Amino acid sequence: MDEIRNVALLGTGIMGYPMARNLVRAGFQVTVWNRSREKAAPLTEEGARLAETAEEAVADAQVVITMLENGPVVTEVLLVRNLARHAPANTLFIDMSSIPPSLARDHAAQLEEAGQRYIDAPVSGGQGGAEDATLAIMVGGAPADFEQAGPLFSAMGRGRHVGPVGCGQLTKLANQAIVGITIGAVSEALLLVKAGGGDPEAAREAISGGFADSRILQVHGERMLKHDFQPGGTVAIQLKDLDNILEAARDAGLKLPFTECARAGFAELAAKPETAKLDHSALLLWLEAMNEPHSLKP
């Protein structure tokens, strides 16, 4: 297969912006587009080309990467705008957004019918991982397409092929189940120590390096202790992922009670404008509200 040089990246938000920047720095010719033009324009200072429309962005692309808010937005950009007609034949479309596996398979079928190729490649690692090019990238699709996209993934993090189309999204859902449930476990554990008269910061340090250690304990545990919930991954996005997990579970005939419990907490926070856009570590606030006056607040 031809070496990839020309890349269109659609969606330059919290994650897409640093991903596009890392692709430029890795030597790819990157054209960017975003619905809010001002979020993409600064990338021209890095060497990217700014397109006024999504259709213009894909006109000469060998690869089209989408990093968009949710499934309906991806559908609107890819299918309603009929980007397959505006891109060269046999273009590789890589959706790195987080959407339901069933929707990824539907997008793949429609693009392939139009003479294009498709892989789903959602990511984990948050804004920090996007900025540092250390994202975990979970890829579903044909092995040959994954191999061709390898240099792109290496510029953004670490790609791993996990099965046919849809399996990237399914693996991302597995990741988000672990994240959502573990945020709840860390919240409960630190609040338990504080309510019992202990020092939750010291307890976190004591646990570190043991069997219960995790990135959630380290990164989000610190946020909880500081009550600093400036967003990386938001409550609203975590709720979207948990809803997608439960939809996939229903399709598979599974009951996931721990995920359902975590979903209830995130749903309460997402229903309030003042908490919906906080970092998902703010699940602690839900726990604190049901246990007043106990709190980790400094």
Q: Which are the catalytic amino acids?
A: 172
Q: State how far the Cα of 248 lies from the Cα of 253, in Å rounded to an integer.
A: 9
235 and 279 in contact (C-beta within 8 Å)? yes
Residue burial 203-240, b: 16+ Cβ < 10 Å; e: rest:
bbeebeeeeeebebbebbbebbbeeebebbbbbbbbbb
User: Element (H or E) spanning 25, and its range?
Assistant: helix 16-25
Give the three-class secondary structure for 23.
Answer: helix
In this structure, what is the dihedral angle of CA atoms 221, 240, 244, 79, given to the nearest 10 degrees? Answer: -140
CA distance 279 to 185: 16
- Pairing mode of beta strands 117-120, 49-50: unpaired
Q: Are 6 and 65 in contact (CB under 8 A)?
A: no
- 126 burial (CB, 10 Å; 0-12 / 13-18 / 19+) is buried
Is the bond preceding residue 72 a cis peptide, omega within 30 degrees? no
Long-range contacts of 24-31 (CB under 8 A, 24+ apart): 24/48, 25/155, 26/151, 26/154, 26/155, 28/4, 28/152, 28/155, 29/5, 31/6, 31/7, 31/57, 31/60, 31/61
Over its C-alpha atoms, the chain yields an Rg (Å, rounded) of 20
